[in-house]
Amino acid sequence: MTLKKSTALESVLGRLDDLDSVNLTILVQRLARERHFLETVLEVIREGILVIDRLGTIEYANPAAVNLLGLPQKDIGRINLWRSVPNLVRTLHLTREGEILETSGISREVEIDYPEARLVRFYIIPMVLAEESGSAEHDHPLRYAVILSDITEERASTQRRIESEKVQSIVDLAAGVAHELGNPINSLTIHLQLMQRAAGKLEDDAATRKIRRSIDVCTAEVERLDGIITHFLEAVRPRPPDFSDVNLIELLEETLEFLRPELEGASISADIAWEEDVPVVHADRNQIKQVFFNIFKNARESMPKGGAIKVRVKTDDEFVYLLIGDTGEGISEGDMTKIFQPYFSTKRTGTGLGMMICQRIMRNHGGQIGIDSRKDVGTLVTLQFPQKHRRVRLLESGDTNAEGTDAGEPEADPSKQG
């Protein structure tokens, strides 16, 4: 069955008075089938479909539109679209009575709050019936069809792509600058070596020893600067993950053991608690260790007067969750939205690259990172890793950035974590 006009049906309708009871029954059955077909199409279509009169009263709404706008089904025929979606009215030109002034198609993207926060595209099309066309009485359509599309995920995907492109451009620029710094550093290293050899031929008196010490200091600082640039380039231009089976508990303990002298010197305690039989994950050991280092470093710097770091490991059928909480200064609400932006840092000496790199590494592993923080209470970082069997499915499907279920929003105070 098609939705095009039926010439045969129109011909039959044109001589309705001449039909006998049998042909009239056949016609009614045919009309019923076509009506059922059209109703089925409108019910299963994903876009919302409304029919409104010229003042915005909703005369028809398919199930998708009812669900998207939270319309009471019993009120269809009485409820007004302009009152149901006030944000839409603000973008339209209406008369005082509420009639649309535009007579052509209208497209608007509107944020709605009920029944949930969504971004919806409204496409409003005039409906002019055959008997109304060409009539001066109907210069303005009596009805409009409204097509509703939920573009929330489409907009979020676009924003993620723009953000990714922005980050990549900044990373490429920073990597280029860092690479160019290598040339003067190499030159400094060569000349320091020449100075060192020349100083070795001088008499061993106080002045010469002072020169040698200065050369040694300069050499050490150049080597340190070269190391910083090397690590920076590794950070902003990471290699593709080298996946292998990784025991996250062992990696956490190894990282904390390395940092323990530094943490104890800052009067910071650290402990890990986990459920039995935490499954291994498919990950790049070195890159995940870098994530841990960045998070623990941020936690340490947020507790200048000491405090505690608590790590809790939880699992479900699909994921392993690492909840890393501290009792530090916390992050203000205004700064929370900027945490993963490049070169944003709440510390005067911070580079603003650490959390951006952590986010990218987690996404490259098919995982997620989330932050919950309260000023003067603490910060909780949640790392979500796909379990090995899920990771294999993602690789087979070619989707390494698939998002899983939400890890939830646990309390920021790590003392409240069980």
Q: What percent of the chain is modeled with pLDDT above 90?
A: 35
Q: β-strand 307-315 against 268-274: which pairing, if any?
A: parallel
Across 125-131, average pLDDT? 74
| HEC string for 348-361 | CCCCCCHHHHHHHH
The residues with which 49 forms a beta bridge, in sequence order, are 147
pTM beyond cutoff 0.85: no
Pick 156-236's CATH classification: 1.10.287, 1.25.40, 1.10.10, 2.30.30: 1.10.287
Angle CA 207–212–218, to nearest 5: 130
Mean per-residue pLDDT of the chain: 81
Contact by Cβ (8 Å): 278, 240: no
Banded model confidence at residue 1, pLDDT cuts 50, 70, 90: very low
Across 50-60, average pLDDT? 93
Across 19-23, average pLDDT? 77
CATH 3.30.450.20 for domain 46-150, yes or no, is yes
Give the C-alpha separation, 335 to 338, whole Å. Answer: 5
Query: Any idea where the domains of the chain sit in the sequence?
Result: 1-44, 46-150, 156-236, 244-416
CATH 3.30.565.10 for domain 244-416, yes or no, is yes
Beta strands in 281-391 (DSSP E): 281-283, 307-315, 319-326, 368-374, 378-386
Residues 6+ apart with CB under 8 A from 237: 171, 175
Residue written as token pair 């997620």: 368
DSSP 63: H
Give the C-alpha separation, 273 to 229, whole Å. Answer: 36
* pLDDT for 343: 65
Cis before residue 115, ω within 30 degrees of 0? yes
* pLDDT for 227: 74
Residues 6+ apart with CB under 8 A from 33: 1
Q: What's the pLDDT tens digit per position in 354-404?
A: 788 888 889 889 999 999 998 889 999 999 999 887 655 555 555 544 443
Q: What percent of the chain is modeled with pLDDT above 70?
A: 81
Integer CA distances (angstroms), 286 to 6, 18, 413, in order: 68, 85, 29
* pLDDT for 390: 66
Q: What's the pLDDT tens digit per position in 190-225?
A: 999 999 899 888 888 888 889 989 999 999 888 888
Residues 6+ apart with CB under 8 A from 342: 166, 167, 170, 171, 352, 353, 356
Residue written as token pair 């979500």: 384
